Structure 1
Amino acid sequence: MRPGLIFWTAVVAFVIDQGSKFLVVHGMGLDQRRAIDVFPPFLNFRYGENRGINFGLLDSDADAARWALIGFSLLVCAVVAIWAGRRADASGTMRVSAGLLIGGALGNVLDRLLYGHVLDFLNMSCCGISNPFVFNVADVFIFAGAVGLVLFDGRKDGGKQRQNAP
């Protein structure tokens, strides 16, 4: 198992996520101001506390739900690390994708441990459509990592299983 690239990508993603949250939420006082227009309507900072998963799905104030999401996230991180780390044919892109997913997930896990919820602050709208949802850098890393794992699974045939004709 070669966890080097996966590990370091996860560390960088984790640090960028936590640094961005600290800078925007605490450093810029978003937790007090609640809204900062950066480049409206394309980029705004809006304070959000996500107790569920993406877009507030499974939102719950129950402590059991918080710990279940933490446990599930840690399980996914372990499975992805083991799966991608053991693949002899895993490309560098696949390993980076695994690291992004793991680093983002661990960033959100730390939020749940520290605050009881995930800190969200990014809001993007465009073209007359007002987006009511907020997300964070970890969510971007998780999404990019998941897409990367699907697109760059390490198989030379693009992920298709070839069958030999008789």
Structure 2
Amino acid sequence: MATKKTTTFSSSHSRSSLAPWLGIAAIVILLDQITKITIEKLFVYGEERVVTSFFNLVLAYNRGAAFSFLSNESGWQRYFFTAIGIVAVGFIVYLLRKHAGQRLFCWALALIMGGAVGNVIDRMAYGHVIDFLDFHFGSLGHFPAFNIADMAISLGAILFIYDELRRVNKQ
């Protein structure tokens, strides 16, 4: 009976330690979807509004991956990138459970998971990802448009690399 209580405690402790990371991912998803819905309501496809000399808001659709990779394919990429996103989320939840005490690592994973889910929602609902943040730098041209989910994934990747570099330097 004592073993059962320990197992139960361990199981509920695992769930409770997973909750903050799922909460962070949920906040990313919520912000991502609210901003995309807002842009869809205020803009027509391709419409661009200048905000500063280096930043515009624009309604763009990305049927591919990062930087519109494979966006001109026949449509198979929608299912492929959706499947990758779903598998990634499953793996991230596994890693969050396994390493729940490693705060920076889990922050990185939670941001990546939130961004992945935000873009998977778009792919499943619309067949493309909604992008709207457009930075440009003079003669260098426009950076590909992106969204809050992409920002979360990028920030998560940066935190992940920083965490690994910190870990390597400790050894």
TM-score with structure 2 length normalisation?
0.81
Question: Given that residues 77 and 102 in structure 1 are in contact (C-alpha distance below 8 angstroms), is that contact kept between their aligned partners in structure 2?
Answer: yes
Q: Deviations over 1:89-127 (max 9, x none)?
A: 412x32222111111110100101111000011101235
For residues 85 and 19 of structure 1, the distance between their equivalents in structure 2, rounded to whole angstroms, comes to 28
SS in 2 for 1:44: strand
For residues 32 and 159 of structure 1, the distance between their equivalents in structure 2, rounded to whole angstroms, comes to 46
SS in 2 for 1:31: coil
SS in 2 for 1:131: coil
Q: Deviations over 1:66-101 (max 9, x none)?
A: 11110101111111221132115412x322221111
Question: Given that residues 44 and 124 in structure 1 are in contact (C-alpha distance below 8 angstroms), is that contact kept between their aligned partners in structure 2?
Answer: yes
Extract unaligned runs of 5+ from structure 2: 1-13
For residues 83 and 149 of structure 1, the distance between their equivalents in structure 2, rounded to whole angstroms, comes to 13
For residues 132 and 98 of structure 1, the distance between their equivalents in structure 2, rounded to whole angstroms, comes to 25
Larger Rg: 2
Aligned: 1:109 with 2:124: no
Map of 2:64 onto structure 1: 52
The match for 1:86 among 98, 103, 107 is 98
Farther off after superposition, 45-54 or 80-89: 80-89
Map of 1:13 onto structure 2: 28
Aligned length: 156
SS in 1 for 2:140: coil
Aligned: 1:4 with 2:16: no
Extract unaligned runs of 5+ from structure 1: none
Following superposition, the deviation at residue 31 of structure 1 comes to 2.3
Following superposition, the deviation at residue 32 of structure 1 comes to 4.9
Map of 2:54 onto structure 1: 42
Aligned: 1:118 with 2:118: no
Following superposition, the deviation at residue 158 of structure 1 comes to 2.0
Q: 1:15 to 1:68 in 2, by over 3 A?
A: same
Q: 1:32 to 1:125 in 2, by over 3 A?
A: closer
Amino acid at match of 1:87: H
Q: Deviations over 1:123-159 (max 9, x none)?
A: 0123543215211111000111122122225x9x623
Question: Given that residues 13 and 100 in structure 1 are in contact (C-alpha distance below 8 angstroms), is that contact kept between their aligned partners in structure 2?
Answer: yes
Amino acid at match of 1:68: F
For residues 138 and 45 of structure 2, the distance between their equivalents in structure 1, rounded to whole angstroms, comes to 29
For residues 150 and 100 of structure 1, the distance between their equivalents in structure 2, rounded to whole angstroms, comes to 13
The match for 2:161 among 139, 147, 150 is 150
